[in-house]
Amino acid sequence: MTFTEIADRVWVTRRPWFDVTTTVVGGERGVVVVDTHASTAAGRALLGDVRALGAGQVVAVVNTHWHLDHTFGNAAFREADPDVEVHAHEEAAAELERGAEPAREEYAADAAAPHRDDVLATTVVVPDRTFSSARVLDLGDRALELVHPGRGHTAGDLVLRVPDADVLVAGDLVESSAPPSFGDDSWPMDWPLSLDVVLGLTTSASVVVPGHGPAVDRDAVEEQRNLIGVVAETVRDLATRGVPLADALEAAEWPWPREHLRSAVERAYAQLPRSQRRLPLI
């Protein structure tokens, strides 16, 4: 797979499996790889492509969150260099430690799952360089900022900012190839506020790299923030009016198809304080 240079020494590649986007950022000390794909085998292929760039040795890996399509390739980078640093938010590391085996069991139960054998053969490497709020990675002639903007797609999302290139790597807090993914570990009521922090890290000229899909501009991030905000405020309104969870999807208009939002609505109802969930009046 080929890389595209979207800014000075910032390259992206979209891998067909999961349509996941990996970013490589270069500096005088070497390169940082953001998200490592979904298995050790896929990580090895990715590492081969990174080396083909000729931009330097991999000095660090960053996981934007814990999901297997972004972390299960970590082992390929660790086997190539036992000293390579693997960075993530502290909650992402904890979630990967808890969630890796259940994710693998789902693959084991589905004989038709793509790359099933590769996933089952993967040794999971949990990030060992964790932080709570922010961290700076020094590449010599440039500094990379890792920021936890809050909960959204997961509890442990991070974004990586390349200030001198005005690039922000957003992970799955932003998606451009499909509507945002509301899984059963998402935080729909927090997500809009986390994206407000992300927007505060951008300028009108910023290039934003989503976890899936092509790079976008700040306006696209703001639009996605507003649509996720519609989901959150619609749930708040329904729950405050006493609409039961079972009826919520059919009781309102939504910015995306209802079948895409089932988990979002369930998770949002669960997040609301008890005082905002009222029984319907009879």
Report field, pTM of the whole predicted structure over 0.85? yes
Q: What is the pLDDT of residue 281?
A: 40
Crossing angle of helices 191-200/218-240, nearest 10°? 160
Whether the Cβ atoms of residue 203 and residue 194 lie closer than 8 Å to each other? no
Q: What is the pLDDT of residue 280?
A: 46
User: What does each of the 282 residues of the chain score in pLDDT, given as a tens digit?
Assistant: 689 999 999 999 999 999 999 999 999 999 999 999 999 999 999 999 999 999 999 999 999 999 999 999 999 999 999 999 999 999 999 999 999 999 999 999 999 999 999 999 999 999 999 999 999 999 999 999 999 999 999 999 999 999 999 999 999 999 998 899 999 999 999 999 999 999 999 999 999 999 999 999 999 999 999 999 999 999 999 999 999 999 999 999 999 999 999 999 999 999 998 656 554 443
Nearest alpha-carbon partner for 106 in 26, 38, 178 = 38
Residue reference for tokens 């979630």: 95
Q: What is the pLDDT of residue 276?
A: 61
Letter for the amino acid at 260?
H
Letter for the amino acid at 273?
P
Letter for the amino acid at 58?
V
Domain boundaries, the chain: 4-276
Euclidean distance between CA atoms 88 and 123, whole angstroms: 18
Look up residue 46 and give its DSSP letter: H
Euclidean distance between CA atoms 149 and 200, whole angstroms: 10
The number of CA neighbours under 13 Å toward the Cβ of 31 is: 25
Letter for the amino acid at 164?
D
Q: What is the pLDDT of residue 277?
A: 55
Q: What is the pLDDT of residue 275?
A: 56
Look up residue 255 and give its DSSP letter: S
User: Could you give the C-alpha distances from 231 to 130, 132, 199, in angstroms and in order?
Assistant: 31, 28, 19
Element (H or E) spanning 13, and its range? strand 10-15
Nearest alpha-carbon partner for 28 in 182, 140, 143, 104 = 140
Q: Backbone phi, then psi, for 22, in 5-degree steps?
A: -110, 140
Quick one: tokens of 81? 């260099």
User: Could you give the C-alpha distances from 224 to 19, 28, 100, 206, in angstroms and in order?
Assistant: 19, 35, 29, 16
Letter for the amino acid at 246?
A
Collect all residues with Cβ–Cβ distance below 8 Å to 71 and sequence separation of at least 6.
35, 36, 63, 88, 96, 124, 125, 127
3-state secondary structure of 130: strand
The CATH number of 4-276 is: 3.60.15.10
Collect all residues with Cβ–Cβ distance below 8 Å to 255 and sequence separation of at least 6.
227, 230, 231
Nearest alpha-carbon partner for 180 in 139, 235, 223 = 223
